[in-house]
Amino acid sequence: MKRLAWIGWLLCGAMAIAACLPAGAASPRGRSRYLVVWAMEARHPNAPMMGLFSGEWSEYRSSLGLGKDFISVFDVGADATPYGKLVAMLPVGDALMAHHTNYAMPPNGILYANDWLGNRTYVFDLRDPLRPQLLRQFAGAGAFGWPHSFVSLSNGDTLATFQYSGGFNHAPGGLVKFDHEGRVVGTSPAANDEVDRNIRPYSLAVVENLNRVVSGSADMLGAQVSHVVQVWRLSDLKPMKTIPMPKGPDAADSSEPRVLADGETVVVSTFTCGLFLVRNLGGDDPALEPIYDFGYRKCSVPVVVGDYLVETMQSGHAIVSLDMHDPEHPHEAGRILLGPHDLPHWLAAEPGGDRLVITGYGALMTRALFATIDRQTGRLTLDPQSIDFTRDWPDGWKGSAIPHGAVFSSLP
């Protein structure tokens, strides 16, 4: 989540609350059996967010009627009856803003999930989706706080962006690397006042075979605007270059870098709906080239599916896919137009499959939608299935919850 004006918007000792599922139930080849969703209980999900920008977060929490953050697991297998049946729920700490998880389920089944405003990140073991376990939780890492995005590395480590250092929105944060047991094994500050005093590390993409990391820069609260992309050396997290963005209406608040299908090409989307190609990423002097303008001025999370980049157009109430066969000349391949009050934000893809999951704001505040992408043509189709997060929950909560990060299981 970014720009909260657009929203209108403790270690848990309890066992995971799980529903029964037939032993050995399997999903068809290429389809994930489960959807894992990070959410928070909210009695008044569309209430004005009183006190948020003044820092009176107790007032904000009261205005939304917040309960607990929780991880939830739904059966989305082809034979699920009903589709989207809740099969597990694990509540954790008091909610302020259930936010990002990893953008895809890591191969080891260890998922990071962040309550951003609460400066609290939970690490879950989801190797058995029916019995999620809380492994640990943390706030800051040294001077760094308010972590935002997480990428799993091939050796089991996790690399994260931290927005701030020295306190809430006090100064630029940086990158932090955790090993598979959660120990901090590397940190690096993002500050580069000579280029941009407003750097706020947001999301990141990792290209291990080039020994590079690309991070965007955008403040979650929109307190200031940033105009850079940063490139780092992966092995020691050394900053390689802070790249000013080319001038243009879509060249602000670089948000979500993504690695394309070739495993080496990185493109960076902005919250102002631009798309930029990182040139010479493996060299000493990388650069940015503008390659596409979606035409809106509020865009959010993209995902790469084969040769296509799919992104949420929040201000356009749409999901758009781009053909990236030729990264220098992308063109639209598919589009879903949602309802006039739907503000799509989060998007994740099924590993090896063709399904997408969508969460967002407005009329999507308490729902998760599904779509299908044709991997040959990039055509997008909105599926009839959805998951309603207003219900009686197994932990005793009665009413609404707000989903945010959602990923398909990596195992059948």
User: What is the arithmetic mean of pLDDT over 104-120?
Assistant: 96
Residue 410 has pLDDT above 60, yes or no: yes
Residue 333 tokens, joined: 């391949």
Residue 113 tokens, joined: 């999930």
pLDDT digits (tens, 9 = 90+) for 181-206: 999 999 999 999 999 999 999 999 99
pLDDT digits (tens, 9 = 90+) for 269-307: 999 999 999 999 999 999 999 999 999 999 999 999 999
Q: Per-residue b/e over 359-380, b at no fewer than 16 CB within 10 Å?
A: bbbbebbbbbbbbbbbeeebeb
SS3 341: coil
Report d(CA 355, CA 378) in Å as an integer. Answer: 12
State the pLDDT at residue 110.
97
pLDDT tier at 317 (50, 70, 90 boundaries)?
very high
Report d(CA 117, CA 61) in Å as an integer. Answer: 11
Picking from 141, 146, 226, the residue whose alpha carbon sits closest to that of residue 191 is 226
pLDDT tier at 7 (50, 70, 90 boundaries)?
very low
What is the pTM for the complete model shown?
0.92
Higher-confidence residue of 126 and 21: namely 126
Report d(CA 95, CA 277) in Å as an integer. Answer: 37
Report d(CA 41, CA 96) in Å as an integer. Answer: 10
State the pLDDT at residue 31.
81
What would the DSSP string read from start to end of 151-199?
Answer: EE-TTS-EEEEEEEESSTTTEEEEEEEE-TTS-EEEEEE--BTTTBTT-
Residue 9 has pLDDT above 80, yes or no: no
Residue 3 has pLDDT above 80, yes or no: no
SS3 209: helix
Residue type, 129: P
Residue 114 has pLDDT above 80, yes or no: yes
pLDDT digits (tens, 9 = 90+) for 322-380: 999 999 999 999 999 999 999 999 999 999 999 999 999 999 999 999 999 999 999 99
Report d(CA 53, CA 193) in Å as an integer. Answer: 25
- Using CB atoms within 10 A of its CB, is residue 303 exposed (0-12), middle (13-18) or buried (19+)? buried
Report d(CA 256, CA 277) in Å as an integer. Answer: 12
State the pLDDT at residue 107.
94
Residue 407 tokens, joined: 């990923």
Query: CA dist 177 to 32, 133, 183, 315, Å?
Result: 29, 22, 8, 34
- Using CB atoms within 10 A of its CB, is residue 294 exposed (0-12), middle (13-18) or buried (19+)? buried
Residue indicated by tokens 């995902």: 303
State the pLDDT at residue 57.
81
The partner residues of 34 in beta bridges, in order of sequence, read 75
pLDDT digits (tens, 9 = 90+) for 73-93: 999 998 899 999 999 999 999
pLDDT tier at 2 (50, 70, 90 boundaries)?
very low
What would the DSSP string read from start to end of 49-115?
Answer: -TTTTTT-HHHHHHHHTEEEEEEEEEE-STT-SSTTEEEEEEEEEE-S-EEEE-SS--TT-EEEEEE
Residue 21 has pLDDT above 70, yes or no: no
Mean pLDDT of the chain: 91
Q: Per-residue b/e over 6-37, b at no fewer than 16 CB within 10 Å?
A: bbebeebeeebbbeebeeeeebeeebbbbbbb
The domain covering 140-254 belongs, at the CATH homologous superfamily level, to YVTN repeat-like/Quinoprotein amine dehydrogenase (2.130.10.10)
Domain-by-domain residue ranges, the chain?
A: 140-254
State the pLDDT at residue 258.
98
